[in-house]
Amino acid sequence: MAFATLLTDDQVKRTHEASLEILENIGLLVRNEKARSIFFKHGAKVDPDSHIVKLPRAVTEKYIKVLRPTFTFRGRDPKFDKTIPKDSPVIVTGSSAPDIIDPITGKERRARSDDIARIAHLINELPAYDMFSISTLADDAPPGQFTLARLYPAIKYCVKPIRNTTKDMDDIQAIMKLLYAVAGSKEAYFEHPFVTHHYCPVVSPLTMDQLSTEAIIYFSELGLPVYPTIVPNAGLTSPMSMAGTLAQGNAEFLAAAVLMQMVHEGTPTIYASLPTVADMRTGAYASGGIECGMLHMAFAQMARFYNVPCGGYIGLTNSKVNDAQMGYETGMSVVEGILGGMDMFNMGGLLDALKAFNFAKAVIDDEIAQMLKRVKRGITFNEEELAVDVIAKVKPGGSFLMEPHTVKRMKTEALLTKLADRDARPIWEKKGSLDIEAHAKLKVNEILSHHTESLLSEEQEAQIRSEFKDLIPGMLAMPQPQ
Amino acid sequence: MAFATLLTDDQVKRTHEASLEILENIGLLVRNEKARSIFFKHGAKVDPDSHIVKLPRAVTEKYIKVLRPTFTFRGRDPKFDKTIPKDSPVIVTGSSAPDIIDPITGKERRARSDDIARIAHLINELPAYDMFSISTLADDAPPGQFTLARLYPAIKYCVKPIRNTTKDMDDIQAIMKLLYAVAGSKEAYFEHPFVTHHYCPVVSPLTMDQLSTEAIIYFSELGLPVYPTIVPNAGLTSPMSMAGTLAQGNAEFLAAAVLMQMVHEGTPTIYASLPTVADMRTGAYASGGIECGMLHMAFAQMARFYNVPCGGYIGLTNSKVNDAQMGYETGMSVVEGILGGMDMFNMGGLLDALKAFNFAKAVIDDEIAQMLKRVKRGITFNEEELAVDVIAKVKPGGSFLMEPHTVKRMKTEALLTKLADRDARPIWEKKGSLDIEAHAKLKVNEILSHHTESLLSEEQEAQIRSEFKDLIPGMLAMPQPQ
Show residues of chain A in contact with B1, CB under 8 Å.
Answer: 4-6
CB contact under 8 Å between A385 and B244, yes or no, is: yes
Tens of pLDDT along B263-311? 999 999 999 999 999 999 999 999 999 999 999 999 999 999 999 999 9
Say if CB B472 and CB B152 are below 8 A apart: yes
Residues 287-326 of B with CB under 8 A from A: 288-291, 293-294, 298, 318-326
pLDDT for residue B469 is more than 90: no
Tens of pLDDT along B360-396? 999 999 999 999 999 999 999 999 999 999 999 999 9
pLDDT at residue B475, as a whole number: 80
* A425: nearest CB among B6, B52, B352: B352
| CA B202/CA B208 separation, integer angstroms | 4
CB contact under 8 Å between A374 and B290, yes or no, is: yes
pLDDT at residue B455, as a whole number: 95
* Burial class for A95, CB neighbours closer than 10 Å (0-12, 13-18, 19+): buried
Q: Does B430 touch chain A (CB under 8 A)?
A: no
Show residues of chain A in contact with B240, CB under 8 Å.
Answer: 400, 403, 405-406, 408-410, 413
* A325: nearest CB among B242, B325, B420: B420
| Residue of chain B minimizing CA distance to A416 | B279
Which one-letter DSSP state was computed for residue A289? S
Please state the ipTM of this predicted complex: 0.97
pLDDT at residue B211, as a whole number: 98
Q: Could you tell me what percent of chain B has a pLDDT over 90?
A: 96
Say if CB B32 and CB B208 are below 8 A apart: yes
A–B interface: beta-carbon pairs under 8 A:
433
Nearest Cα residue to B301 out of A340, A1, A311:
A1
Tens of pLDDT along B23-65? 999 999 999 999 999 999 999 999 999 999 999 999 999 999 9
| Residue of chain B minimizing CA distance to A341 | B4
CB contact under 8 Å between B323 and A324, yes or no, is: yes
Residues 81-140 of B with CB under 8 A from A: 108
For residues A290-328, one letter each, b for 16 or more C-beta atoms within 10 angstroms of the residue's C-beta and e for the rest, the string is bbbbbbbbbbbbbbbbbebbbbbbbbbbbbbbbbbbbbb
Q: Does A434 touch chain B (CB under 8 A)?
A: no
Show residues of chain B in contact with A334, CB under 8 Å.
Answer: 332
| Residue of chain B minimizing CA distance to A54 | B396
Domain range A71-377, its CATH number among 3.60.21.10, 1.10.490.10, 3.20.20.480, 3.40.50.300: 3.20.20.480
Tens of pLDDT along B118-141? 999 999 999 999 999 999 999 999
CB contact under 8 Å between A205 and B397, yes or no, is: yes
pLDDT for residue B480 is more than 70: no
pLDDT-based confidence at B208, cuts 50/70/90?
very high
* A421: nearest CB among B318, B394, B424: B318
For residues A248-271, one letter each, b for 16 or more C-beta atoms within 10 angstroms of the residue's C-beta and e for the rest, the string is bbbbbbbbbbbbbbbbeeebbbbb
Residues 15-54 of A with CB under 8 A from B: 15, 18, 21-22, 25-29, 52
pTM of the model: 0.98
DSSP per residue over B427-439, as a string? HHHHTT---HHHH
pLDDT-based confidence at B474, cuts 50/70/90?
confident
pLDDT for residue B477 is more than 80: no
The domain limits of chain A are 9-64, 71-377
Q: Does A337 touch chain B (CB under 8 A)?
A: no
pLDDT at residue A112, as a whole number: 96
pLDDT at residue B478, as a whole number: 65
Per-residue pLDDT of chain A (482 residues; tens, 9 = 90+): 999 999 999 999 999 999 999 999 999 999 999 999 999 999 999 999 999 999 999 999 999 999 999 999 999 999 999 999 999 999 999 999 999 999 889 999 999 999 999 999 999 999 999 999 999 999 999 999 999 999 999 999 999 999 999 999 999 999 999 999 999 999 999 999 999 999 999 999 999 999 999 999 999 999 999 999 999 999 999 999 999 999 999 999 999 999 999 999 999 999 999 999 999 999 999 999 999 999 999 999 999 999 999 999 999 999 999 999 999 999 999 999 999 999 999 999 999 999 999 999 999 999 999 999 999 999 999 999 999 999 999 999 999 999 999 999 999 999 999 999 999 999 999 999 999 999 999 999 999 988 788 999 999 999 999 999 889 988 877 666 54
Q: Does A380 touch chain B (CB under 8 A)?
A: yes
| CA B398/CA B382 separation, integer angstroms | 23
Q: Does B279 touch chain A (CB under 8 A)?
A: yes
